[in-house]
Structure 1
Amino acid sequence: MADVVAEQALKRTPLHEQHRALGAKIVPFAGYEMPVQYPGGITAEHKAVREGCGVFDVSHMGEFIVTGPDAVAFVNHVTTNDVAKLAVGQVHYSTILNERGTIEDDCLVYRMADRLMLVVNASNREKDLAHILRYKGDFDVTVEDRSDDYALLAVQGPKAEEILQPLTATDLSQIAYYWFAEGEVAGVSGIISRTGYTGEDGFELYVPAADAPRLWDALLATGRITPAGLGARDTLRLEMGMALYGNDIDDTVTPLEANLGWLVKLAKGDFVGKAALEAEKAAGIPRRLVGFTVAERAIPRHGYPVFHDGQPSGAVRSGTMSPTLGTSIGTAYLPAAAATPGTTFEIDVRGKRVAATVVKPPFYKDASHK
């Protein structure tokens, strides 16, 4: 019995004590104890990232390292984007599908000279690994789950480069958006990636787990970086219309329905889920994920029922009051014919139906990402 309890215990990132010392509110998330906000509050953290610079501990994310002669071909087979077109030092966003064409996870793929790295969602880590290994077949590859070896710090905001540059000899101005370099930050070796989940400029730093506290402390010692938690991460990504697995996308929807068709390269050759997507495309995509706004002072929460022309159309997938825009925003799936800007529909907010209007994301248009 003790072993069962131990298996169910929440994990902690290498920065847990730093979060506690800062007075963070810790909540269970994807099997981890994670900071949802610090004493200054979500709105202040959100504003810091939009206007200056914030840092997120996202060490719970999963990292798989793929090596071997067939590494590129294998990852190309189990993801939808075209890995063969990645240059060394480049990264792209992609999806992992099942045979039904629905989304097992979204991920990032990094191409190094001698290996590939897949970055997956923490809640899907074990599922993803088992899933992709089912397709190993005759591919000459080795797949290692190195998630526990890495910590990941996301330094995000329009002033991120300016603040981070004095801490590294790597010329950050030479790292283009969705490219990366291997170097040191504050004496800690790792991967410096110009990526993020906020819409702002910034970097994601993959470093050895044991070195994460030293790096975190060095970042905060600049006096110009605000610690930010999961709450601000969610409001920031939603303002940009970025998908969250488990909300906007899951294994009941295809990338074509989720407006992620740009991640699907049907011409690249065979991959898991290709036949199902081709069939869906030929038959006509039945529904699409839309962004929406609500004029009333009502917040559309995840799970609230959605109605179009009086008929049920699923539920709100993501919803919040936008800290930047001061209005309610969200996402939902509507019949494809209705998924156009200006279409109105209704959301049941605690027993009252309120009007929502389809808008094209991103909701926030002035982000600094390059």
Structure 2
Amino acid sequence: MARERLSSLFFAVLGLSATSWGGLALMAQLERRYVVRRQMLTQEGFADLVAIAWAVPGPVACNVAIQLGYVLRGRAGALVSGLASVLPFFLAMGALALAYLHHALPAVLNPAVLPRFRVVLACLIAVTLWRQSRSLLKTRTAQTVAGIATAMLWVAPTPMVFVGVLLAAFAYGWLTAPRDDARAPLPSLSRGEWAVIAFYGVSLAIFALVPLDAVESRVVDTLRQAGASLSLFGGGFSAFPVLRSLFVGGAHGVSADTFNTAFTLSAMVPGPLLNVVPFLGLLGAGALGAVLATFAFFVPTGVLAVFAQRWLAILRQSPRFEHALGLLRAATTAFLADAVLRVVPNIPLNALDIGLALISLFVLGRLKLPVYWLYLGVAVTAFAA
């Protein structure tokens, strides 16, 4: 396999991340550069990276970029590629957060723009929910798991419920899976790997058990966010209820309206949909909060993706694992459904917004155009009015 220079890897991923709206777009560009054009990775090898990224929590596209860097240049490549994939949207969302804090953003935007943007955002989440449901909820069992999870999230949208729903779905899938899976020997774990697993367990427990109002230490807050990142399966909008439980109220003091605004603006910026994290981190705890939140949400899952490469061949031999992971992913549709149910009631019911919603559903669902074209159309229309 040809070796990529670290500087070339950094600037290539940086440029691709800066011009990719959404995780799927970034993965497609990475594949085009390193599989089709440069032929530094085979099609099967890249498919393995994508499979691992979908099997672990966190932002799928960034996890693919981190793994790609690891395959090409080892740990240094993973660090360089991961940093390059995050830097563009970190700077962009940080700038938007500063503009929002200093009231420059509301002054620039027409008062009618943000509410219209939220209509488009609600339609984008709804289309994502529809596509994911069609892909994941193909059996009666998966539909039942998704229905129960949605009801539980609506009644009690707390971190303990988030973690409990995912663990219960995975455990149920594991216990009800076919029992004829191959018994491949598991690889031995080093002390460092056991330490990483212990860190994940502690941070996930802190996220599930420590209430937001009880968090006073920045270290505990960062560990709580790292634990939250381990509960994020199924794409960026699945993070809506999780991030809401982390940043709205409590020590961070982010209002529900500001939180919805942050998610609305995130679709305007390149990168995965978790690009909202630096915005919320900066609003909650300044520049250091933005850095720590971004580190907590992107580093642990990236390390886990690299760590999981050793297990891919074994997991492929386990129908039990595949069945359990399938039901876990079915449960993640509940997080998208919860996002829709929380956003839609805040949209005023008038003829203009209903018309915009119908157009947005057609453009996003049928024509499959990027959402920023809708945002641009809404902004131009508002300024012209």
TM-score, normalised to structure 2's length?
Answer: 0.23
Q: If each structure's strand is expressed as a fraction of its own residues, which one has the higher value? A: 1
Q: Which structure has more RCO (C-alpha within 8 Å, separation ≥ 6)?
A: 2
Q: If each structure's helix is expressed as a fraction of its own residues, which one has the higher value? A: 2
TM-score, normalised to structure 1's length?
Answer: 0.23
